[in-house]
Amino acid sequence: MAATASSYSITMRLHTAPDHGVVGTVATTVASGGGVVTAIDVAESRHDRLVVDVTCSAADQTHSEQLVAAVEAIEGVQVYKVSDRTFLLHIGGKIRVESKVPLKTRDDLSMAYTPGVGRVSMAIHENPEDVRRLTIKGNSVAVVTDGSAVLGLGNIGPGAALPVMEGKAALFKRFADIDAWPICLASQDTDEIVRAVEMIAPGFGGINLEDIAAPRCFEIERRLRESLDIPVFHDDQHGTAIVVLAALTNALRVVKKQLPDVRIVVSGAGAAGTAIVTLLLAAGAGDVVVVDRQGALAGTDDSLPPAQADLADATNPRGVTGSLQEVLVGADVFVGVSAPNILDPEWIADMAEDAVVFALANPDPEVDPAAAAKYATVVASGRSDYPNQINNVLAFPGVFRGLLDARAEDVTVDMLLRAADALAKVVSDEELHPSFIIPSVFHPDVAKRVASAISGKAPAPPTAEQPLPL
């Protein structure tokens, strides 16, 4: 059983016999069970017992429970307590608001609040364009969801979506120094969502729509773009599309193929699939076929709902029909944004030579990346425990940094293409490899280059705190 990173990490507090050799037995037992021990600390040593904290990672919840049971079965070991480190991290939430100015004296209060703040309010009233300069609006984003399509978990509602939106806000701050707020709306009515966002928009410089189910998300985005004078960006669509196009650009560099010449199969006709296809076509892709549960979408199919009919009309120039397996024959590229385990690894053998496979369903991809790598030259997924992670955090912080810096009022296709090109170029020719087609989210140039591509402004030079990458 393959262990993963810290998302399924636990700490077991053990009471054991006063024999330090038991620590080695515990470590061996965890390893034999497929876990990875990341830390062992003796918290207390007495003549009658040891208190030992063992931290290890597992493949999933069931696996972590199996590891606990295996340790508890060791003679002389009692599992006193088990802590899930992911849940511990979320206690009390992951973000907070802090004042940027001192509030220690009466003078401080008189300027930051009344009476001084009244002068600033009147200045904005007389010159409304100053609101971005004199308030947080110029560096703030609302992360808006209705909880209808959260990660791969489905329609779990706004409360359950809040940890994800908090995480998004934390990423905005970490990677682009943007102040973002999670806005979880207790409605899945399109009109109510649009009106709610319109009413809160004066306090924000941009709107990031997140985890809203298709096709409702398309109409919400369209209407908000028409009614608001700040950019509206649906990360599940456009963020995903930017990173996929950047990664595919580099994957095709690896296999020495050109985007206009390759045959691309996209599995999934939802928000992400639609945006990926739209951006691929804008970038010059000439042969894209979209597949859903019923098979290939074709413009001749009158039974398709409107959103899928539009997608079919824009794609499938050869008019192919059939299942995913049938459509994949001879294809150069597979991009999956659909469901787990729908692609048999052996089908990849029927694709063109030097096939590229992006299996991006989360948390479980369309095909196991390790199995796909037996047949494909380049494999990417949404997982952090395999090479080539396609992660939206590579795009959205830099996108909004650029939008805010430029005081943009809209997001254009040209901006998205420029962002994808900038992201792809972060990977140099020397670095490019089948297992390295996309930079790390922690690369110091990623957000700066994407922001520069969006805003048209040159990126700031590195500081002592942000040195040039080695």
What pLDDT is stored for residue 434 in this prediction? 96
pTM of the complete model: 0.86
- Residue 296 φ/ψ, nearest 5 degrees: -65, 135
> Of 80, 94, 100, 168, which is the active-site residue?
168
Mean pLDDT, rounded, for 107-134: 94
294: confidence class by pLDDT, cuts 50, 70, 90 = confident
For the chain, percent of residues with pLDDT exceeding 70: 96
Q: Region 375-388: what's the mean pLDDT?
A: 91
The answer, yes or no, to whether residue 463 has pLDDT greater than 50, is no
- How many angstroms separate the most distant Cα atoms in the chain? 80
Q: Is the pLDDT of residue 4 over 60?
A: no
- Whether pLDDT at 469 is above 60: no
> What is the rounded average pLDDT of the residues 208-217?
92
Residue 304 confidence (pLDDT):
85
Q: With 60 as the cut, is the pLDDT of residue 425 above it?
A: yes
- The pLDDT tens digits for 217-271 are 999 999 999 999 999 999 989 999 999 999 999 999 999 999 999 999 999 998 8
HEC states along the chain?
A: CCCCCHHHEEEEEEEECCCCHHHHHHHHHHHHCCCEEEEEEEEEECCCCEEEEEEEECCCHHHHHHHHHHHHCCCCEEEEEEEEHHHHHHCCCCCCCCCCCCCCCHHHHHHHCCCHHHHHHHHHHHCHHHHHHHCHHHHEEEEEECCCCECCCECCHHHHHHHHHHHHHHHHHHHHCCEEEEEECCCCCHHHHHHHHHHHHHHCCEEEECCCCCCHHHHHHHHHHHHCCCCEEEHHHHHHHHHHHHHHHHHHHHHCCCHHHCEEEEECCCHHHHHHHHHHHHHCCCEEEEEECCEECCCCCCCCCHHHHHHHHHCCCCCCCCCHHHHHCCCCEEEECCCCCCCCHHHHHHCCCCCEEEECCCCCCCCCHHHHCCCCCEEEECCCCCCCECCHHHCHHHHHHHHHHCCCCCCCHHHHHHHHHHHHHCCCCCCCECCECCCCCCCCCHHHHHHHHHHCCCCCCCCCCCCCCC
Predicted pLDDT at 385: 76
Tell me if residue 81 is catalytic. Answer: no
Region 205-220: mean pLDDT is: 93
Taking only the tens place, the pLDDT of each residue in 67-95 is 999 999 998 899 999 999 889 999 999 99
Catalytic residue among 113, 173, 374, 457: 113
**Percent of the chain scoring above 90 in pLDDT:** 81
Q: Strands across the sheet with 9-16, in order? A: 36-45, 50-57, 9-16, 77-84
pLDDT at 464 over 50: no
- For residues 416 and 154, the model is more confident at 416
The answer, yes or no, to whether residue 465 has pLDDT greater than 50, is no
Distance between CA 458 and CA 96 in Å, rounded? 31
Confidence of residue 381 (pLDDT cuts 50, 70, 90): very high
Mean predicted confidence (pLDDT) in 19-43: 90
User: Does residue 113 carry a catalytic annotation?
Assistant: yes
